[in-house]
Structure 1
Amino acid sequence: MSTPESNRVALVTGGSGGIGRVVAERLARDGFAVAVQYAGNRAEAEETVAAINAAGGRALAVGGDVADEDAMGTAFDTVRSAFGGIDVVVNTAGIMILAPVETLDLADLDRMHRTNIRGTFVVNQQAARTVRPGGAVVNFSTSVVRTQLPTYGAYVASKAAVEAMTLVLARELRGRDITVNAVAPGPTATPLFLQGKDEETVDKFAKATPLERLGRPEDIAETVAFLAGPARWINGQVLYANGGLA
C-alpha cells in the first residue's frame, strides 16, 4: 500500500545546487519531506533546506560522499530517523569531465566513474534496502548516451552504466511496488553544463532541439516529480527529457 502523499519522504543526492536543488524544491511543493544530500557544499545545501522550510515544507541536509557506503548508510539512517522512512530516492549527484578518449587523464576517468557509477550503485543499494512500497528510485543519465558527441566518451560510459544498473534494479525489485527509472536530460542550463563553453557553443546546443532553447532545471524537475508521484506504470525505463533532441 502506498504511503499517503502528505507523509512521503524523498532523499535527493546532489541536492545543494543545479538540477538537484530544483528537484528538491519541486518535490517539497508536492508535499514530500525532503532530505538534501551534499558532498562538499554544506552552505548551499542549508540554503536549499532554508528555502524549502520558508515555503512551508519540511527539509533537512545530510552530508557524505555518495560513493562511500558507510557515509550513505548513515545518511539514509538519518533521514529515516528524522522523517520516519524513505519513499523516493533521486540520485542527481554526478560529475562531468570532457576530453577525447585519446587524451583523457585516467585519474579523471577514475574520479568520474567513482562518483557516477560507484556512487549510483551505493545509493541504489541503500534505496533497495530502505524505500517503502509505493516508492520510486530515479537515477540520472544523459541524452549524450544517444547523441555520441566527441569528448563525452568517458562521461557517457559512466552514464551508460547507470542506465544498465537502473533497468536491472527495476527487475530485481519485482513484487515490492517500487519503480526504478532514469532521466536522461538534454542540454540544460546548469553550471555543470555551461562550465567551459563559450556563447557560440551554448547557442549551438540550444538550436539543436526543435524547441530551440536549452532545457531549464525546472523542466527536468517536472519529469522527476512525475516519476516520483503519479507515474506508477512507468518502470525500468530511461526517459529522455531533452526537448526533442535527436
Structure 2
Amino acid sequence: MTALVTGGGTGIGRACSLALHRAGHAVAISYRRSSDDAESAVAAIREDGGRAIAVAADVTDDDAVRAMVAEVRAQLGPVEVLVNNAGATIPLPLDDLDGATDDVWRQMLGVNLMAPWYCARAAADDLRAAEDGVVVNIGSIAGLTGSGSSLPYAVSKSALHGLTRSLARALAPVRVNEVAPGLVMTRWWAGNEERGRELASKALLDRETTPEDVARAVLGLVESRAITGQTVVVDGGQTL
C-alpha cells in the first residue's frame, strides 16, 4: 500500500512517515519548503529497504494537490493511506481580536482546513478503489478546547474535526479519522522549549508527548478497520 504524508519530513509528519514505512507501506512525503528534511526522511526509509519519494507541493493550491497525487500514483501506485499532517499557526494572544486579520484567517483556514479537503478530494478515487482506504487528519486539542496559539488557529482545527466526520460519511467505506495531539516538542517550539516543557509537565502523565507517540496513534487508526469518524486525543492527559 502507498501512503501519502503531507508535511512528512519534519516533526510529527516524519515520525508518521517512518512508522508507516516500518508497517510495510511505500511512503510519499510532501513538502513545501523543507526539501532537505523531506529528502532526509526519504533517504532514511530507502536505507532501511523501503520505497519512498519526496514531492514538492503547495497543499493550499487545489491544482498543485491534484498534480501531487498524480505524481505519487505514477511513481509509487494509488494512494491508499492519506495522512493530512501539514499545518501552520500564527501565534497571537487569544484576546487580540484586531490581530486576527483577514489574512491570518485565510492562512489558517487554507493550511489547516482547505489543504486536507483538497488532498482527500484529489485522492478520493484511489482511496475508494483500495481494499481499505484510510484518511487520518492531524488536528489539535486546540480544536476541542477553543484555546491555542491563536483564535483563528483553534477555529481552523475545530473545523477540521467537522471535516473529519463529514468525510467519514462522504467517503465511506473509506475510513476517515483524526488524531488530536496536545503539546508536542517540535520545531514549532524552537526558542520556547523551556515554556513548552513547563506546560508539558502539567499533564497527568508527567511526560512530554513525542512525535512518535502521535505516530503510533496514527498507525493504530490506519490498522483499526472498525473505527471511522473519530478523534483520538494524544496529550498525556493535558486536557482532562
TM range, normalised to the smaller chain?
A: over 0.9
The one-letter code sitting in structure 2 at the alignment partner of 1:59 is A
| Range 96-105 or range 34-43, more displaced | 96-105
The two structures, once aligned, show a CA RMSD in angstroms of 1.5
SS in 2 for 1:128: helix
The one-letter code sitting in structure 2 at the alignment partner of 1:173 is L
Matches within 5 A, 1:32-111: 32-100=25-93, 101-106=96-101, 107-111=103-107
Give distance in 2, aligned partners of 1:119 and 1:30: 26
> Structure 1: which 5+ runs fail to align?
1-7
Matched, 1:205 2:199: yes
Matches within 5 A, 1:130-141: 130-131=126-127, 132-141=130-139
Q: Partner residue of 1:31? A: 24
Q: Partner residue of 2:120? A: 124
Kindly tell me the number of residue pairs found equivalent between the two proteins. 234
Contact 2:146 2:155 (8 Å CA) reproduced: no
The one-letter code sitting in structure 2 at the alignment partner of 1:160 is S
> Structure 2: which 5+ runs fail to align?
none
> So what's the TM-score if we normalise by structure 1?
0.90
Give distance in 1, aligned partners of 2:62 and 2:217: 28
Following TM superposition, by how much is the alpha carbon of 1:196 offset from its aligned partner in structure 2, in angstroms?
A: 5.0
Matched, 1:216 2:210: yes
Which of 122, 125, 140 is the matching residue for 1:142? 140
Give distance in 1, aligned partners of 2:148 and 2:14: 29
- 1:167-215 CA-to-partner distances (Å, cap 9, x unmatched) read 00101123xx3110011001111112x135351x223311221111221
Give distance in 2, aligned partners of 1:92 and 1:151: 17
Are residues 57 and 238 of structure 1, via their aligned partners in 2, closer, same or farther at CA, if it must alter by over 3 Å?
A: same
Give distance in 2, aligned partners of 1:12 and 1:54: 19
Q: Give the percent of matched residue pairs that are identical in Structure 1 and Structure 2.
A: 37
> So what's the TM-score if we normalise by structure 2?
0.92
